[in-house]
Amino acid sequence: MPDVLCVVSPFGYGPLNSIGPKCPNLGIGMLAAVLEEARYDVGVLDCFGLELTKEDVIRQLKEQKPSIILIGAVTANMRIGMELLSAAKRLNPEVITVIGGPHVTGNPESALTPPGIVDYVVMGEAEETIVELLAYIKGNSPLQKHEIKGIMYFENGQRIRTPDRGIVKKLDRLPMPAYHLFPMERYHSYGWLNLGRKFSTMSTSRGCPFKCSFCQSSWEAVYWRQRSAEKVFEEIRLLYERYGVRHIYFQDDDFCANPDRVIAICRMIKEAKLDLAWECLTRVTQAKEDMLKEMAEAGCRTILYGVETGYEEGFKRINKPISLQMVIGAVRRTQEHGILVRTSYIMGFPWEGEKEMRETIRFAKKVDADLTYFNIINPYPGTPIYDEIVSKGLFLDPENFDNHIIHGTDPMIRTEKLTAKQVRYWVGRAVLEFYLRPSFLLRRLFKVRSWQEFKANFAGGNDLLLLSLKKVLASS
C-alpha cells in the first residue's frame, strides 16, 4: 500500500468517447518519478485510464490508507478533484492533501475555498517543489514551510503564497515518467488515429515560443525548453521495448520548435529500424521541407497545426504571428510528404460575429486538412483572454468549471455580437459543413489504411456529426 498516492481524476469524453484518446498523465508521471527517486513509496491511481468512478476512488482510499494524496487539476476536473480530496479528509482527517496542475496554477485560491480540504496548493512545474514539500511534511527538511517556493496554504486563517518557483530549466536532468505505475495496456490514441497498436504519449519539451492570448502555455515566465534527442530516443526505446508501444503521440505544444532536434530523433528511429507510428503538434511556421521529409520517413503519420481563426485580423487579435498564406503552405507541404494534417480552430472569441464565423468555416474548407477540429473558446484562469472575457461580462458562469469539458457543448461564453446559443450553432454548423462534403469523405476513405482505422473513423465521425447536428437543431 503506497504511502503517497497520486490520483488522476475520473474523466471521460461523454458522447465523444469514441474520439478522445486515453493516455498516461505525464504530469503525475513526472512527480511520481521524482518522488520515487527521493525514495518515497508512491502509487498512482489512474481513474482516467482504468475508467474508475468517484466511488471506486473512495473504496481504494479506504483500502490503501495513504498518508499523503496528490491530485492534479485542469479546470474541467477541478470540482471532482476537490470532491475526492474532501472525501479523503472525511475518511481520514490526518491525511495530507496536495493539489497542483494547470487550473490551480492560474487560480490557486480556488483550491483553498472552502478551507480544510486542501492542505497545500502547488503552482507551476512541480518536480522540485513536490520533493521539498514532502520532505517538509515528513519532517526531513531544513526548510520552513514559507521557504518552499511555489506553494499556497492556510495559516492562522490567512492564505500564504510563497514566491514563484520558476520553471525547470534543464529537462534532461529529470527522470523518465514513472510509466511502470500506470496501466500502460489501457491506452489508445484519438479515435480517428487509432491504429490498434499499443500506444503512449510522450512529452519531450515544455513551453512554446508563441504567446497566444487564450493559451495556458503562453505565460510570461515560460519559454521553450527541450529534452535532448538522445534522451528522447532513450524514452522511445523504453516504451518500445518494455511496454511494446508501437504508436506514440508527442504531446508537446511545439514538438518541432527545434527542427535539428526533430531530424536527429527521426534518424535515430530510422537507424534502429523501429516499427513506430507517431504524431505530433507544431506551429505552421515550422513546416520546413527537409524536416518533413525526415519525419515522414521515420513514421510520422499526422501533424496537428493550431490555426485558430480563418481571418487575418483574428491572428492579430489572439497574438499569433501567422498568416492564412502560411497555413495553406504548411498544410500542402506536409500533405505532399504523405503526412496527414489535422488543423484546429477556435470559435467564439469576444469580437466574433456571424461574419467571422463564416470566414473561419470558409477558410477551414479551403485549407481542407485531413481532420479538422472546431472548438468553442474556453477561458482559462491566468490567460489574457480570460481577463478580457470576464471584464467584458461575456463569461456566463465563471464558477461552473464542469462546463470546461469537451462534451460541455454549451459554450461558457457569449461574444459581443452572438449569444451562447448562436455560438453553439456556428460550431455545429462548421463541423457539418466541413465533414459532409463528398470530396472530403471520398479522400478520407482513400487515406484509410486498415479495417481498424475504417471502424475508428466511422464510429468517431458518426458521433461527431450526430452531436453537431443536435447542436445545430437545438440552436436554430
Contact positions vs ligand B12 (CB under 6 A): 11, 21, 23, 25-28, 30-31, 48, 70-72, 74-77, 98-103, 106, 122, 125-127, 130, 201, 203, 215-217, 251, 253, 380, 404-406
**Using rule CB under 6 A, residue 403 touches ligand SF4:** no
Among 125, 253, 352, 463, indicate the residue that binds ligand SF4 (CB under 6 A).
Answer: 253
Q: Which is nearer to ligand B12, 25 or 294 (CB)?
A: 25
- b/e per residue, 294-328, with b = 16+ CB within 10 A? bbbebbbbbbbbbbbbbbeebbebbebebebebbe
Q: Which is nearer to ligand SF4, 127 or 308 (CB)?
A: 308
Among 208, 298, 339, 364, indicate the residue that binds ligand SF4 (CB under 6 A).
Answer: 208
CB of 451 to ligand B12, least distance (A): 25
CB of 367 to ligand B12, least distance (A): 22
**Using rule CB under 6 A, residue 218 touches ligand SF4:** yes
Among 70, 88, 212, 300, indicate the residue that binds ligand SF4 (CB under 6 A).
Answer: 212
**Using rule CB under 6 A, residue 257 touches ligand SF4:** no
CA-CA distance, 265 to 251, in Å (whole number)? Answer: 15
| Region of 215-223, 234-242, 357-365, 385-393 interacting with ligand SF4 (CB under 6 A) | 215-223
Here's the x/- map for ligand SF4, 296-325, by CB under 6 A: it reads as ----------x-------------x-----
Q: Which does 306 bind (CB under 5 to 8 A by kind): ligand B12, ligand SF4, none?
A: ligand SF4
Residue 82 in contact with residue 118, Cβ under 8 Å? yes
Q: Which is nearer to ligand SF4, 188 or 320 (CB)?
A: 320
Q: Which does 98 bind (CB under 5 to 8 A by kind): ligand B12, ligand SF4, none?
A: ligand B12
Q: Which is nearer to ligand SF4, 252 or 368 (CB)?
A: 252
Among 64, 67, 141, 217, indicate the residue that binds ligand SF4 (CB under 6 A).
Answer: 217
Q: Which does 319 bind (CB under 5 to 8 A by kind): ligand B12, ligand SF4, none?
A: none
**Using rule CB under 6 A, residue 283 touches ligand SF4:** yes
Q: Which is nearer to ligand B12, 239 or 294 (CB)?
A: 239
Q: Which does 303 bind (CB under 5 to 8 A by kind): ligand B12, ligand SF4, none?
A: none
Q: Which does 210 bind (CB under 5 to 8 A by kind): ligand B12, ligand SF4, none?
A: ligand SF4
Q: Which is nearer to ligand B12, 215 or 274 (CB)?
A: 215
| Region of 51-59, 190-198, 213-221, 455-463 interacting with ligand SF4 (CB under 6 A) | 213-221
Q: Which residues bind ligand SF4 (CB under 6 A)?
A: 208, 210-212, 215, 217-218, 253-254, 283, 306, 320
